Amino acid sequence: MITANERAAMTESVGAAIADAVARSANVDATLAELGWRELLADDPDAAVEIVFTALGSANATASALDDVLAATLGFELGADLAILLPNFASWAPPGRIDGSHSHAHGIATCRAATAAEILVACDNESALNTSMVSVAAAEVTVVRGVDPDAGLHFVRCPIETKGGRPLDPAAWQSALALGRRAVAYQIAGACRTVLNLARTHALDRMQFGRPIARFQAVRHKLAEVLVAVESLDAALAAAGDTPSPETAALAKAIAGRTAYTTAKHCQQVLAGIGFTTEHQFHRYLKRILAFEGLFGSADAITHDIGHRLLAERRVPTLIEL
Amino acid sequence: MSAELAAYRGELRAWLEAHREELAPRYALPGTLDDHVAQMQRVKAILFDAGWMQRGWPERVGGSGGPPMLRTELGANLAARDFVDSGLFSLIEVLAPTLIDFARPELAAEAVPKLLSGAELWCQGFSEPDSGSDLASLRCRAVPEGGNAATAARWIINGQKVWTSLAQFSQRCVLLTRTGPADSRHRGITAFFVDMDTPGITVRPIEMINGELEFAEVFFEDVAVPAERMLGELNGGWAVAMSILPYERSSCFWQRIAYLYRRLERLVEIAPQDDRAAEVVGNAYVQLHALRARSRATQHRLAATGAIGAETSIDKVLVAAGEQAVFDAVHRLLPGMVEIEDSAAGETWRGEYLYSRAATIYGGTAEVQRNIIARRLLDLGSDE
Ligand SMILES: Cc1cc2nc3c(=O)[nH]c(=O)nc-3n(C[C@H](O)[C@H](O)[C@H](O)COP(=O)(O)OP(=O)(O)OC[C@H]3O[C@@H](n4cnc5c(N)ncnc54)[C@H](O)[C@@H]3O)c2cc1C
């Protein structure tokens, strides 16, 4: 565990290093390795995920740190050669499926799929979970262009060896999913904070009707709405760290998605014409948000799932206490 | 802090469960406002006798000390069990801390235990017919008897307050008056702690949108108030008014949140189990969780630093939206319940649905909160 002071110092240094790597178009994964990301993840996963993913989101950096987060929680040795198959877009089910003769996986992978030797696949074989190692050479890996070609995402399809898998404790899968969700939520939080700052700066600088548009109450209230959302996401993430559980992580992820769309919508409106161009940075953040919000389940899907659970149990748990 | 609170919470919950029968409302739902007020005072008396009401309050006002979050836990656990109306009960947090910080020590020591034990109710006389959001424009006047503010034994008050919650039930009122020139705004306001049975005070209850007479107009005609009832400094009333925020925005909200979780739970107990309901309920729950997480952080910041400020406008926006989301969900998922159902259940849901519409109005409107967020938190400069 790192101390509060170390955490603050690292937040700064990691943020600066990642922003610098992005500015230089350098490889962010290499920068993370130099910063000791994997060691930090092993030592203090909560701090590591918060610091690194917030910084990745703020700088709109493309990296494969999510693979390490999942590998670490699933109990695998961390390394740049091991990629992880994430659940398919908008889903959180294990990407592999073993049912008798049909044994295959399809899901999403980060930019590591382009360089790794092996892909770790979590599989559901109906009665239990296990993990399989698939050689990248044996998999069909295609680059996702989509809304954000720079996001580094890949589609992966591959056959699964029915034997030789390693049993996967469902609780370990839940923990991996939870930390993965928190990681993506931190990334979205970092992006939202940056987008709010971009819109705020624009509101103060942009003159119309002889005054900065920041004087108009309609503009002020939109930005206020964004700050409310961004702050509530920070609080939900802190709660998921203080009271870790699949539920608090799922809720943080859902709140991240809501915050992302509130932020994107209002900030785009404040940025107006310039925000609609590729001359302003906004478009990169909007596209990255769209590309990542669906990972491990969108806000909508998670909300729906939670709603069904509340109705089935006829209970509304408070989850966090003072 | 959290470990101490968890232990306290366990002890408290066990005690409340053991005394459930004694604490539960005696009236049939929905009950009248008189029922709710009587129930709250009865519960306060029981809890006071058992020593729970004193927890978290300073010893100099008859409390038994400890962190203020102990009181928050108490209020939240009462609300979660429907033993008291959370809105009425949490008014303690709006009024008692002000007395403790600004009244003469003897006055606070005498008055606060009466509020805690259920012997008294107090009200907050801030708003006036022409001063709602723009509180600093208030006009209800206080002048020193004989003309000398430094030596006057009494102050004479003339004017009117409006929408004063529980005024007709209250023994005392925390009142804001104009003591400076008419245009002195927040620099010329003074607070007083006024006995509601003082001659010259007339209370006219006003029927609210839900049919209750929960607030009132209060008229002051040559009302004489002893000088030692001044709260804080002469012309220092704005600080008194602002001192309400820390506990209103932390403890009161946490109690309100407990009530909202309970209401959402009541909804899922009877809602249809389909996709649409899952979405509506899920959305309200996600919103409540964001609010609860935020409020939790706020309380811990208050406990750690002793102060919270403009950033609680965010909590206020979230709590108002959360309350309306819960009751919008009720309205949407129980067709006719709010609109045409005349059973006790219908009356109860209808009353609370209608009340929830005020969440974006009282305690500073949703728009005023956004103005504060824009100016103070986002530092967007003046809007003029
Ligand atoms: C249930 C309930 C209980 C209450 N209890 C009490 C009590 O116990 N004691 C007490 O003193 N008061 C009480 N109030 C009064 C409450 O504090 C006021 O209603 C509130 O401050 C708003 O004032 P107003 O109603 O005059 O609205 P106004 O201030 O007239 O506002 C009308 C509309 O204009 C908007 N508006 C006003 N100014 C601005 C601005 N600068 N920018 C943008 N929009 C603006 C508002 O947001 C609102 O939508 C209570 C009110 C309710 C509903």
The reported pLDDT for the residue numbered A49 is 98
Reading phi first (left if > 0) and then psi (alpha if -120 to 50, else beta), residue A71 is in alpha
DSSP state for residue B145 in the 8-state scheme = T
User: How far is it, in rounded angstroms, from Cα B251 to Cα B30?
Assistant: 26
- The pairs formed by A152-155 with CB atoms below 8 angstroms and a separation of 24 or more are A152/A62, A152/A63, A152/A64, A152/A110, A152/A111, A152/A114, A153/A108, A153/A109, A153/A110, A153/A111, A153/A291, A154/A108, A154/A109, A154/A110, A154/A111, A154/A113, A154/A114, A155/A106, A155/A108, A155/A109
The reported pLDDT for the residue numbered A290 is 96
The reported pLDDT for the residue numbered B189 is 98
The reported pLDDT for the residue numbered B367 is 98
Q: Which domains does chain B have, with CATH numbers?
A: 3-120 (1.10.540.10), 123-236 (2.40.110.10), 249-377 (1.20.140.10)
Average pLDDT on A8-29 reads 97
pLDDT digits (tens, 9 = 90+) for B227-237: 999 999 999 99
The reported pLDDT for the residue numbered B59 is 98
pLDDT digits (tens, 9 = 90+) for A211-246: 999 999 999 999 999 999 999 999 999 999 999 999
Question: What percentage of chain B reaches a pLDDT higher than 70?
Answer: 100
- For ligand 1, the distance from its centroid to the CA atom of residue B359, given in whole angstroms, is 10
pLDDT higher than threshold 80 for residue B191: yes
The reported pLDDT for the residue numbered A118 is 94
For the whole model, what pTM was predicted? Answer: 0.97
Among B360, B365, B367, name the best residue to mutate to test ligand 1's pocket (greatest count of ligand atoms within 8 A of Cβ): B365
User: How far is it, in rounded angstroms, from Cα A198 to Cα B114?
Assistant: 53
Q: Given an 8 Å threshold on Cβ–Cβ distance, is B314 in contact with A315?
A: no
DSSP state for residue A263 in the 8-state scheme = H
Q: For B281-314, give the DSSP string.
A: HHHHHHHHHHHHHHHHHHHHHHHHHS---TTHHH
Q: Which atom in ligand 1 lies closest to the alpha carbon of residue B161?
A: 11
Chains A, B: CB contacts within 8 A come to 157
Interhelix angle B312-333/B344-356, rounded to 10 degrees, is 150
User: How far is it, in rounded angstroms, from Cα A112 to Cα A114?
Assistant: 5
Residues of chain A found within 8 Å of residue B8, distances taken between Cβ atoms? none
pLDDT higher than threshold 90 for residue A92: yes
- For ligand 1, the distance from its centroid to the CA atom of residue B161, given in whole angstroms, is 13
Q: Which domains does chain A have, with CATH numbers?
A: 1-63 (no CATH), 80-168 (2.40.110.10), 171-313 (1.20.140.10)
Give the closest residue (by CA) to ligand 1 atom 26: B132
Q: Is B259 in the pocket of ligand 1 (CB under 6 A)?
A: no
Q: Tell me the two tokens of residue A198.
A: 């971009």
pLDDT higher than threshold 90 for residue A84: yes
* Helix or strand (DSSP H, E) at B4: helix B2-18
Q: Name the burial class of residue B51, with classes exposed (0-12), middle (13-18) and buried (19+) by CB atoms within 10 angstroms of its CB.
A: exposed
Q: For A165-234, give the DSSP string.
A: -EEE-HHHHHHHHHHHHHHHHHHHHHHHHHHHHHHHHHHHH-EETTEEGGGSHHHHHHHHHHHHHHHHHH
- For ligand 1, the distance from its centroid to the CA atom of residue B313, given in whole angstroms, is 15
Angle (CA) A109-A294-A113 rounded to 5° is: 5
The reported pLDDT for the residue numbered B3 is 87
3-state secondary structure B162-225: EEEECHHHCCEEEEEEECCCCCCHHHHEEEEEEECCCCCEEEEEECCCCCCCCEEEEEEEEEEE
Residues of chain A found within 8 Å of residue B273, distances taken between Cβ atoms? 308, 311-312
The reported pLDDT for the residue numbered B351 is 97
pLDDT digits (tens, 9 = 90+) for B205-227: 999 999 999 999 999 999 999 99
Among A217, A219, A221, A222, name the best residue to mutate to test ligand 1's pocket (greatest count of ligand atoms within 8 A of Cβ): A217
The reported pLDDT for the residue numbered A63 is 98
Average pLDDT on A185-195 reads 98
pLDDT higher than threshold 90 for residue A142: yes
pLDDT digits (tens, 9 = 90+) for B68-85: 999 999 999 999 999 999
pLDDT higher than threshold 80 for residue A162: no
The reported pLDDT for the residue numbered A62 is 98
**pLDDT-derived band of residue B321, with 50, 70 and 90 as boundaries?**
very high
Count the neighbouring beta carbons within 10 Å of the beta carbon of residue B219.
17
The reported pLDDT for the residue numbered B297 is 97
B24 CA: distance to closest CA in chain A (Å): 21
Average pLDDT on A12-26 reads 97
User: How far is it, in rounded angstroms, from Cα B282 to Cα B285?
Assistant: 5
- Among B285, B292, B380, the residue with its CB nearest the CB of A220 is B380
Q: Which atom in ligand 1 lies closest to the alpha carbon of residue B133?
A: 29
* Helix or strand (DSSP H, E) at A141: strand A140-143
pLDDT higher than threshold 80 for residue B67: yes
Q: Tell me the two tokens of residue A135.
A: 């050689």
Q: Is B248 a catalytic residue?
A: yes
- For ligand 1, the distance from its centroid to the CA atom of residue B288, given in whole angstroms, is 24
Q: Tell me the two tokens of residue B76.
A: 């939240």
Q: Is B210 in the pocket of ligand 1 (CB under 6 A)?
A: no
CA atoms within 13 A on the CB side of B216: 19
Question: What percentage of chain A reaches a pLDDT higher than 90?
Answer: 93
Average pLDDT on A87-100 reads 91
User: How far is it, in rounded angstroms, from Cα A257 to Cα A253?
Assistant: 6
pLDDT higher than threshold 80 for residue A102: no
- Among A203, A300, A311, the residue with its CB nearest the CB of B380 is A203
Q: Is B215 in the pocket of ligand 1 (CB under 6 A)?
A: yes
pLDDT digits (tens, 9 = 90+) for A24-44: 999 999 999 999 999 999 999
The reported pLDDT for the residue numbered A187 is 98
Question: What percentage of chain B reaches a pLDDT higher than 90?
Answer: 97
Residues of chain B found within 8 Å of residue A215, distances taken between Cβ atoms? 381-384
Q: Which atom in ligand 1 lies closest to the alpha carbon of residue B126?
A: 11
Mean residue pLDDT of chain B comes to: 97
Among B127, B196, B382, name the best residue to mutate to test ligand 1's pocket (greatest count of ligand atoms within 8 A of Cβ): B127
**pLDDT-derived band of residue B354, with 50, 70 and 90 as boundaries?**
very high
pLDDT higher than threshold 80 for residue B128: yes
pLDDT higher than threshold 80 for residue B158: yes
